[in-house]
Structures are given as C-alpha cells and as structure tokens.
Copies of this chain bind each other. A is one copy, B any other.
Amino acid sequence: MQYPEAVEELIEYFRQLPGVGRRGAERLALALLDWEADKQRLFGLAVAKLPERIGNCPECGAIAPAGEVCAICSDSRRDGTLLCVVENMPQLFAVEKGNSYRGKYLVLGGRLSPLDGEDGSSLNLELLRKRASGGEVKEIILALSPDVEGRATAAYLAELLADAPVKLTRPALGLPAGSNLSFADSATISAAFSGRTDLK
C-alpha cells in the first residue's frame, strides 16, 4: 500500500533530519497522524514560523530570537575578554553544560571541509576577525573538535588571526574524565602524557 501523498511528503522531510532513516521517518509520520488536529496545526506552525522567529545573533552568530542579540552576548556578567570559537550550536551547548566557561562565544557555522564543498566562505570569519581586532577580546579559545577537519579548521583560524592582538589557545587534549586508561586510544594517551601536569 502507498501512503497518501501528504504522508509521503512528511516522511521525506523527517528523513532529512539527522539519525532518521526511512523506517524511523515512517514511524514519526504515523505517530504524528495520531495527534489531535489542533496539535498538528500548532506543531506545523511552530516549524513554519521558524524563519520569522529565529535568526542569528549579530555579535556571535548563535541562534537567537530574530533581530535580537543572544542571551549570552547580552549577559553583562559574562567575561567579554574571553572568546570561545565553536563550530555550531550543539558544541556551544556542550561547553555551556561543562558549567565552567564564563566568557563569550563565536559560532562559526561549520568547519572547513573541502570534500563537502565547505571552503570557509559560509563561515562567520568576518565576524571573528572583527571580534579579534575589536579590542575587548584578549584571548580566543579555538574549541573545535580534535579530529582531522576540526584541526585543519583551527590551524586555518590560527593563521587568519596571526596578526590580531589576542592570545590564541585551544582546550587541553587528554584522557576523558571518568574513563578507563586501558581503553584510551594511542593518540589520546600520547597527548595526555605530553601534556601532563605537575601534582606538587
């Protein structure tokens, strides 16, 4: 049996979300069909109105209510001399969950990835350069993922910011807290040993 066209369309949209395959998309669409009509309409409008309701913070590139500065950039208790560069919003939230960083952010909006056609032109590089040379920021933490593309992006940014009057750092590489040493990969062990800290 074919799904009605309206359902098939819905399945195609759900499939484009991360981690959702054809079967998962069918399951989500069929579950949605069991909702009350009003709830379907409200959910649909919540999605359809995203472009009007959500935009990017003009100071850091993070998601924010349309036309507004984001909650972090407008928070005067955050340390404006520290700027943490992340690839995307999930990474920003990950750093926030760490609950120790009190500086501000710059959301790149991606990473260099030549194979996927990302040459940096859609990244927030102009904004980063502006923040780096604006005078307020003293240190920029390049918190990109320590994988191949993340390192390449960090190296590219370090070059871009070579002349900016800021300190450039990156988070420490080492053993994840709570992990078992015997399961650590060799690159992590190597980084953890070369970056060892004094105990006394």
Contacts and interface: CB of A to CB of B under 8 A. Distances in A.
Interface in A1-42: 1-7, 9-10, 13, 16-20, 24, 26-28, 30-35, 37, 40-42
- Tell me what chain A mostly uses at the interface: helix, strand, loop, or mixed: helix
Given A46-B10, A65-B6, A72-B1, A54 B33 contact: yes
Q: How large is the interface on A (under 10, 10 to 19, 20 to 34, 35 or more residues)?
A: 35 or more
B46 A45 contact: no
A96 interface: yes
Nearest to A10: B46
Given A65-B4, A72-B1, A48 B54 contact: no
A6 B53 contact: yes
A140 to B, nearest CB: 19
A61 B64 CA distance: 43
Listed from nearest, the 4 A-B pairs whose CB atoms lie closest are: A44-B48, A44-B47, A37-B51, A6-B53
Interface of A: 1-7, 9-10, 13, 16-20, 24, 26-28, 30-35, 37, 40-51, 53-54, 63-65, 70-72, 88-90, 92-93, 96
